[in-house]
Amino acid sequence: MGGLMSKSGNINEYYVESVLDAVGETPMVKLQRSTTSGVNVLVKLEMQNPGGSVKDRIAKSIIEEAEKAGTITPGKTTIIEATSGNTGIGVAMAAAAKGYKCIIVMPQLSPFYERFITCRKFGAEVHLTAPAKGMPGMLAYVEDLMSKDKTIWCTQQFKNPDNPKAHLDTTGPEIWRQCRGKVDYLVAGVGTGGTLNGVGNFLKGKNKNLKVIAVEPTESRVLVGNAHEKHSVLGIGAGMQVKFIEELAPGQEFKEGPRGMVDEFLHASSGESCDWADKLSRQEGLLVGPSSGCAMKVAADIAARPEAQGKTIVVILASSGIRYVNHPLLWTEVKNEAVKALPMIPDVSPEPLLKWQSEK
């Protein structure tokens, strides 16, 4: 493997100047056992970013572009973001690496346990809001804090153009290079819409026949005009008609059918998403979260179409499954087994030698 480029412009095989220089250039893996034969399904492993998700890319891009513009300064600016978790972790990591104070705003829900701990370990404050208020409530809380303290600056992942720019500049070109210019479908979940916008625009510019597939939870199909309902696919399906999708076809109604560069708006339920996350771990050795499972369920359905034979489908896998241990659906069976296998008061007697055997 070749050396990495440092900020000084020199190739160095052994290290990069900052953890943020290690963001990007994530691997692409061909699935072997879980999808239809005759279709080349490639997954982009965004959990291999140093903060553990695709959101590291936008955290780096947004903060560094703001620094170039002179908008923020370490030691003077406090960075804030409202998040379902992965962006918050990326922002907290970047803030720690650059010396900024940081506030992360999340809903007070038990599935956010790992996100809470990770952001705190990066030194960020974490403010927890009423879950019933959803993302709009978190954003309102952030605006209120900013109105009271002018040193607080928000990364604004849902509005900042440096979000899709990160993917236009990095993720898209990486995919094109890794696929050697052969990509027929792009499948990506929509949280802010930045990944789909940036990657989709780059790849469509290279191949006008590329099919771009936007994915959201079945329970929250707001991108086609349906109502938002509670779901368990953390990271996507925020319940808002997001700017980065709207700007692909300005003024057009959010409804079924193609819109702008998006060819199809497809979906998978919370249960299907978690089932596919489990399937990828057991059949492909890929430990992923529910939003990745959601995208994979849709990709598998596309792969099963007759017209997909001989085609290449690229799927963005946004984050690692280890971040979802407290998820109500994803880890329940294994967690229940672990409680029995690893009692709080261990059996320290020397016999029998084998104390527990998991199910086959």
- Helices 55-68 & 86-98 angle (0-180, nearest 10): 40
232 is catalytic: no
**Do 185 and 312 contact (CB within 8 A), yes or no?**
yes
Residues 6+ apart with CB under 8 A from 162: 58, 61, 62, 65, 66
Q: Which of 92, 91, 102, 78 is nearest to 152 (CA)?
A: 78
Active-site hit among 44, 53, 55, 98: 55
243 is catalytic: no
The number of C-alpha atoms within 13 Å of 278 and in the hemisphere containing its C-beta is 13
**CA–CA dist 226, 228 (Å, integer):** 7
Active-site hit among 84, 232, 273, 291: 291
CA dihedral 114, 116, 120, 122 (to 10 degrees): 60
Class of residue 226 by CB neighbours under 10 A (exposed 0-12, middle 13-18, buried 19+):
middle
Catalytic residues: 55, 291
